Amino acid sequence: MSFDLNARLAARRADNLYRQRPLLESPQGPQVVVDGQPLLAFCNNDYLGLANHPQVIEAWQAGASRWGVGGGASHLVIGHSAPHHELEEALAEFTGRPRALLFSNGYMANLGAVTALAGQGDTVLEDRLNHASLLDAGLLSGARFNRYLHNDVLSLAARLEKANGNTLVVTDGVFSMDGDLADLPALTRQARAKGAWLMVDDAHGFGPLGANGGGIVEHFGLGVDDVPVLVGTLGKAFGTSGAFVAGSEELIESLIQFARPYIYTTSQPPALACATLKSLELLRTEHWRREHLNQLIGQFRRGAEQIGLQLMESFTPIQPIMIGDSGRAIRLSQMLRKRGLMVTAIRPPTVPAGSARLRVTLSAAHTQAQVQLLLNALDDCWRKLEPDHA
């Protein structure tokens, strides 16, 4: 008996769900070369345009010259370098929390935090539209795991009534496929009323949200008592790579002791931490980036609504265009690509069945003229897109 992988792959192709990796042959930015074709891209998460910033590149190069190019070992052996420590202190100060802890990526940060805090006899409750890494962490924790209806506080309350042991409520801050915000004030009140902890993965909120780019917690004016576990990733608005968890002294020490994805992996290159320190400085001081980004978001939403596109309730850089059928979403993406624009079609299982979409993401590196080019192409392609034939 053997695995019939060909049948599985054929089924995915037949359902218009087959995924392929585009080959990027240029640095990140609005103007890219993908599979040999020059394109105007609206599909990366470099929200503040820092991934190819000259000062960030220079900081990485200087860091590599001083610290080398590898972490060398895990943080608990000999891999915790001075740049790592400096970045953790800067992230703690940025988030207004006593401490922060670096992870190699967001998946590991979420997996590490949830599994270190909850186990057998405990309860993990998650928004049903949470990122896959959060859902996997809940499943792997060994705790009783349940999902509440999206952003539905009453649904959460019903599940909290049945919770056992230590209870961890977990939500994205900005939902990566819809672009909407978690109702953190309401979630906070519900969790605290039942003695549960709230964990927020604000991967897509840091940078675009908050007066100083501090994300959804700053946006709502909440503190460490409201959101004891705050996760952020560095590969989006920060423009580099990695992730962090910020919280109390006791939380961070507990993660150092019990978070297996932290304990048993090599640290990120110290030079990467040097680059992130520079990007954090730019994120905090160059407020024009957020202001320009917000102008582009407003421009896109006004134009898309005039075309008659179905948008979602999002004022973030994530602006999904709801299509529904996976085949139609792929065709619209291909039509745009022929016009020199790259917008990715997102299909199940990444999103629920029947909710395929084009996920437009905007960056401070885009210009108003480039957004208008996208709107013009969408107007033309949308009118020419044939209806789905059931």
Which residues make up each annotated binding site? 19, 106-107, 131, 176, 204, 233, 350
Active-site residue (options: 176, 279, 326, 333)? 176
Are 105 and 131 contacting, i.e. CB atoms less than 8 angstroms apart?
Answer: no
228's CB contacts (< 8 A; 6+ apart) are 197, 198, 199, 247, 248, 251
Nearest Cα to 293, choosing from 254, 327, 319?
A: 319
Taking the CB of residue 1, how many other CB atoms lie within 10 A of it? 3
Q: What is the DSSP letter of 311?
A: B
Q: What is the DSSP letter of 69?
A: S
Active-site residue (options: 75, 84, 204, 219)? 204
Fold of 54-285: Aspartate Aminotransferase; domain 2 (3.40.640)
22-48+286-384 and 54-285 agree in CATH topology: no
Q: Which residue has the tokens 């898309």?
A: 304
C-alpha pair distances (Å), 77 with each of 40, 113, 266, 271, 332 = 44, 20, 9, 18, 51
The structure tokens listed for 31 are 């103007």
Active-site residue (options: 75, 80, 219, 236)? 236
Which residues make up each annotated binding site for pyridoxal 5'-phosphate? 106-107, 176, 204, 233
Q: What is the pLDDT of residues 16-74, one digit of tens each?
A: 888 889 999 999 999 999 999 999 999 999 999 999 999 999 999 999 999 999 999 99
Please say if 176 is a catalytic residue.
Answer: yes
Nearest Cα to 102, choosing from 88, 116, 81, 92?
A: 88
Are 341 and 306 contacting, i.e. CB atoms less than 8 angstroms apart?
Answer: no
C-alpha span between 45 and 232 (Å, rounded): 13
C-alpha span between 128 and 147 (Å, rounded): 5
Q: Sort 153 into a burial class: Cβ within 10 Å, 0-12 / 13-18 / 19+.
A: middle
- pTM (2 d.p.): 0.95
Q: What is the pLDDT of residues 142-189, one digit of tens each?
A: 999 999 999 999 999 999 999 999 999 999 999 999 999 999 999 999
The sign of the CA dihedral 88, 94, 95, 96 is: positive
Are 48 and 364 contacting, i.e. CB atoms less than 8 angstroms apart?
Answer: yes
Beta bridge partners of 31: 40
Please say if 204 is a catalytic residue.
Answer: yes
Please say if 236 is a catalytic residue.
Answer: yes
C-alpha span between 81 and 277 (Å, rounded): 14
Q: What is the pLDDT of residues 76-102, one digit of tens each?
A: 999 999 999 999 999 999 999 999 999
Q: What percent of the chain has pLDDT over 70?
A: 99
- Asked if the model's pLDDT at residue 389 lies above 60, the reply is no
pLDDT at position 43: 95
* Amino acid type, 254: S
Taking CB atoms within 8 Å and a gap of at least 24, the contacts of 282-286 are: 282/48, 282/50, 282/53, 282/55, 282/56, 283/48, 283/50, 283/206, 283/207, 283/213, 283/237, 283/238, 284/94, 284/212, 284/213, 286/48
Confidence of residue 340 (pLDDT cuts 50, 70, 90): very high
Q: What is the pLDDT of residues 200-245, one digit of tens each?
A: 999 999 999 999 999 999 999 999 999 999 999 999 999 999 999 9
pLDDT at position 176: 95
Q: Does domain 22-48+286-384 have CATH number 3.90.1150.10?
A: yes
Domain boundaries, the chain: 22-48+286-384, 54-285
Nearest Cα to 356, choosing from 310, 299, 389?
A: 310
pLDDT at position 198: 98
Are 316 and 293 contacting, i.e. CB atoms less than 8 angstroms apart?
Answer: no
Three-state DSSP at 115 gives helix
C-alpha span between 47 and 240 (Å, rounded): 12
- Mean pLDDT score of the chain: 96
C-alpha span between 53 and 20 (Å, rounded): 28
Angle at which helices 82-95 and 54-67 pack, to 10 degrees? 140
Helices (H), 81-212: 82-95, 106-117, 132-140, 153-160, 184-193
